[in-house]
Structure 1
Amino acid sequence: MRHMSDLGSRLRAAREAAGMSLAAMAAKTHWSKAQLGHLETGARAVKREHVITYSRALNVSAESLYGQPQDPLRVAHEWLVADGPARVHRSAGRRVGQSFATELEQRVNDLRRLDDTVGGGDLIPLVRRELAETSAVVKCADYSEAVGRRLLVAVGELSQLVGWVASDAGYFLEARHVYLDGVSAARDAGDRTLAGQLLSTLSYQMANVGNPADAALLAKSAVKGAHDAPPIAKALLLERVAWASARSRDAESALRAMDAVDDAYESRSAGIGEPEWVYWLNRDEIDVMAGRCFIEIGQPDRAAPLLSHAIDAYDSEHAREVALYRTWLAESLARAGELDAARDVIEKARSTSAGINSARLTRRVEDIEQLVG
């Protein structure tokens, strides 16, 4: 997260560049001159709502105030027009070796992190193309058995990414097909943990837009099938059990799975290798899922503190996640009877979500706005 004094100085520089005094800025916002001065000097923490207010008052982009070095959509476009390793290989020859597999694995890792900042609607063309070209290499190229396993794992991981991005963009049937194709690749590679990840991610989609009881059964099957998964990966698979159970209103199973998530995560160790795709799972993310589960099983009072703490831990580059988590915070407040607070939070979520091409996020904001009235 950026240093608060640096961000405050950028707010001050933008205000001065616009020729606006502190008094004039105070008149355009609901903050006093003293409060604004504290923000600009770093005496008070600068939050996203402060940046959004400055951007509107000064008619500048929030990104320019944050000083973000790159526009995620521009990065996605650059990836889209560039030739990936699979495309380069297809024009160069039929034989591939360990160096190609390494390059492909890095490509998958980079694409996975791009999903952190780019909405599914913008990212889907890129990841679709990458999966198609990598699958073509697996079908047509010559390689050793060891390289073949690595290529199949890459296809499985790309399938998980394409399915996740497609689901975020609202293409649920496509996501389902891609997830299942990925399971086949993971199984052929002998990677039971990855196969479990693909099935459990499909269960997550089913819990949200399908039959939650079926989703819970699938999530439990994924955990059983990936019985040798390392601790953090196991915690992620168990989270999907907790969520599907909560969505099916099985409070006992949800609470039991949440306890199992905590146990698995606490057993992690620097000496135990984890798949790269669990890089994002930390204590804050686990608390977010716990909060969501508490809402679903009718315990919203337990959700709000967990969600609030996690939201505060995120920076501006994760705007989609912040906006999504605010929708659940708003829902927890609304279901606890705190409607005014819920309305304030969902307004912040809508503001944060501006410009993010995510059908999932748009739907959540609209649903909670209807809930709070």
Structure 2
Amino acid sequence: MTAYNPPTALPRNILERSDVRTAIAAHDFGTVFRIARSEARISYSKIAAECDIKPERVGSLARGEGSVTTFDKIARIADALRIPGHLLGLAAREWEKSESSGRVHSTPARPNATKRDGDDTVRRREFFMASAGVGLAASLPELDQIDTGRRIGRSVPDQLRMRTARLRRLDDILGGGDTYRVYLGEYQATKRLIRNQSYTEETGRALLSVLAEQAQQAGWAAFDGGKDADASSLYEDSYQVAKDAGDTALAGNALAFLAYQKINGDRRAGVQTAERSCRTAGPDAPPGVRTLLYERLAWAYAVGGDADGTQQALNAAEAALSEDDGTRQPDWATWVDRNELQIMTGRCWTELRRPLRAVPVLEEALAHYDDAHARDKSLYLSWLADSYLSAGEVEQAASITGRALELSAGVASVRPRQRIRPTLQQLSAYRELPAVAEVLEMASS
């Protein structure tokens, strides 16, 4: 019996290249696929078959569209391309152990199915933390390489924007407490680049647009990590820079971030800022941007108690999402899809105390939401628990709150616990119920 060697295994000389290792560490599989085809003559169809990915999806990734974030799929790619686990933040793969010990296997290792509890959950969390660290260590030096000449060419803003998009993926799996310094460092480095080097007017506007995008990412991490003052300052800086760049979509998004932050204090100011964000971006903004801004406007209306305004904004978001005019969407808005809009819809109706509307959409959306996105899923579950409480379903609310607590454990974000705390206070009135007593004990431990 001979060891199985997939036809998509990367040659050693390619696997050892610094640019390939940087792409691997950052989970930029599109770049890896592209290099595999152009330099190792490994076709996209072979990659698709071995990685269990649709061929058109492989092509899209190679064009820089989308990303791979789930543990099982990344593990499958590692096995198909024979990428050693440590390069991805994974434990050594079975085939690596076989090669080092002389034992052979007739088929490649298959990752285990996802489990709700137990070793797999822990293994995934450790994987994401480790892979994020490896990716940063590998990718951060690139900006120093860009910052070597005194004259910046037209390609540099595109390089920085791609780099920003790659680092944004960390927010899928880590909280602001882990990412804030990274994102802030990127923002500050780009500011130095703009200040110290020369470029054409067109390149200067493109650099300012990237800077505005980086400020928003750093501001979001600050907000998520409980640094509200830093967040506000970064959002305001982003708005001004985006205006200077002539990027109305980013300017509108900066206002939407400010509205999201303000709504918890001054509801009227939050609503006004959210309305202004939609006007600033305007009707010509890409559909994904308008979807994002309208759903945030819906949230502002919901927190303000305006059910009619909420429904109108959700309708506008749905209409924008349904548009398919071929416009390339900015990376910072591509995460908004139909599932995310469903979640926002459920959140809004929860806030308006309409559990009969909220529960079905939240249940359906969260059924398709990966546990790897622990912070966001724990937050969204908290709204589902709230709706069940409003409907008088106390034990179901307790069960879902317990799940939210499990997911939020170890996440460097202040928001899940802030969201869960009021629900726990309401549940404490029913502590005689075993399900409630169990979740209250979990929360206190």
Distance 1:222 1:137 in 2: 29
Is 1:300 matched up with 2:359? no
Is 1:217 matched up with 2:217? no
Distance 2:140 2:350 in 1: 45
Q: What is the TM-score normalised by the length of structure 2?
A: 0.68
Q: Is the 8 A contact 2:353 2:387 kept in 1?
A: no
Residue 62 of structure 1 is aligned with which of 94, 115, 121?
A: 121
Residue 116 of structure 2 is aligned with which of 48, 51, 74?
A: 51
Is 1:170 matched up with 2:226? yes
Q: Is the 8 A contact 1:73 1:118 kept in 2?
A: no
Residue 351 of structure 1 corresponds to 406
Read off the aligned partner of 2:377 and give its amino acid letter.
Answer: V
Q: Is the 8 A contact 1:96 1:143 kept in 2?
A: yes
What secondary structure, in the 3-state scheme, does the structure 1 residue paired with 2:246 have?
A: coil
Q: What is the TM-score normalised by the length of structure 1?
A: 0.81
Shift of 1:3: 7.4
Is 1:159 matched up with 2:224? no
Residue 235 of structure 1 corresponds to 291
Is 1:282 matched up with 2:337? yes
What secondary structure, in the 3-state scheme, does the structure 1 residue paired with 2:426 have?
A: helix
Residue 331 of structure 1 is aligned with which of 386, 397, 404?
A: 386
Distance 2:334 2:267 in 1: 27
Q: Is the 8 A contact 2:224 2:414 kept in 1?
A: yes
**272 and 103 in structure 1: CA distance in 2 versus 1, 3 angstrom threshold:** closer
Residue 321 of structure 1 corresponds to 376
Read off the aligned partner of 2:241 and give its amino acid letter.
Answer: A
Residue 362 of structure 1 corresponds to 417
Q: Is the 8 A contact 1:326 1:349 kept in 2?
A: yes
> Mapping of 1:1-373 within 5 angstroms?
50-52=115-117, 55=118, 60=119, 62-64=121-123, 70-76=127-133, 78-79=135-136, 83-90=140-147, 92-207=148-263, 209-227=264-282, 228-266=284-322, 268-269=323-324, 271-373=326-428
What secondary structure, in the 3-state scheme, does the structure 1 residue paired with 2:116 have?
A: helix
Shift of 1:322: 1.3
Distance 1:119 1:61 in 2: 21
Q: Is the 8 A contact 1:160 1:182 kept in 2?
A: yes
Shift of 1:256: 1.4
Shift of 1:263: 1.5
Read off the aligned partner of 1:301 and give its amino acid letter.
Answer: L
What secondary structure, in the 3-state scheme, does the structure 1 residue paired with 2:411 have?
A: coil
Read off the aligned partner of 1:197 and give its amino acid letter.
Answer: N
Deviation string for 1:309-346 (max 9, x for gaps)?
A: 11111223211111111111101101111111000000
Provide structure 2 residue ranges, at least 5 long, that are not aligned to the other structure.
1-69, 77-112, 429-445
What secondary structure, in the 3-state scheme, does the structure 1 residue paired with 2:372 have?
A: helix
Distance 1:226 1:145 in 2: 23
Aligned sequence identity (%): 33
Q: Is the 8 A contact 1:200 1:219 kept in 2?
A: yes
Distance 2:151 2:145 in 1: 12
What secondary structure, in the 3-state scheme, does the structure 2 residue paired with 1:193 have?
A: helix
Richer in helix (by share): 1
Deviation string for 1:210-239 (max 9, x for gaps)?
A: 212111100101111111212221111111
Read off the aligned partner of 2:416 and give its amino acid letter.
Answer: L
Q: Is the 8 A contact 2:212 2:238 kept in 1?
A: yes
Shift of 1:69: 9.2
Provide structure 1 residue ranges, at least 5 long, that are not aligned to the other structure.
8-45
**288 and 83 in structure 1: CA distance in 2 versus 1, 3 angstrom threshold:** closer
Deviation string for 1:20-66 (max 9, x for gaps)?
A: xxxxxxxxxxxxxxxxxxxxxxxxxx7x7x431xx2xxxx46243x5
Shift of 1:100: 2.1
Distance 1:259 1:61 in 2: 39
Residue 41 of structure 1 corresponds to none
What secondary structure, in the 3-state scheme, does the structure 2 residue paired with 1:152 have?
A: helix
Distance 1:265 1:358 in 2: 29
Distance 1:343 1:316 in 2: 19
Distance 1:89 1:273 in 2: 26
Shift of 1:156: 0.7
Read off the aligned partner of 1:88 and give its amino acid letter.
Answer: Q
Aligned residues: 323
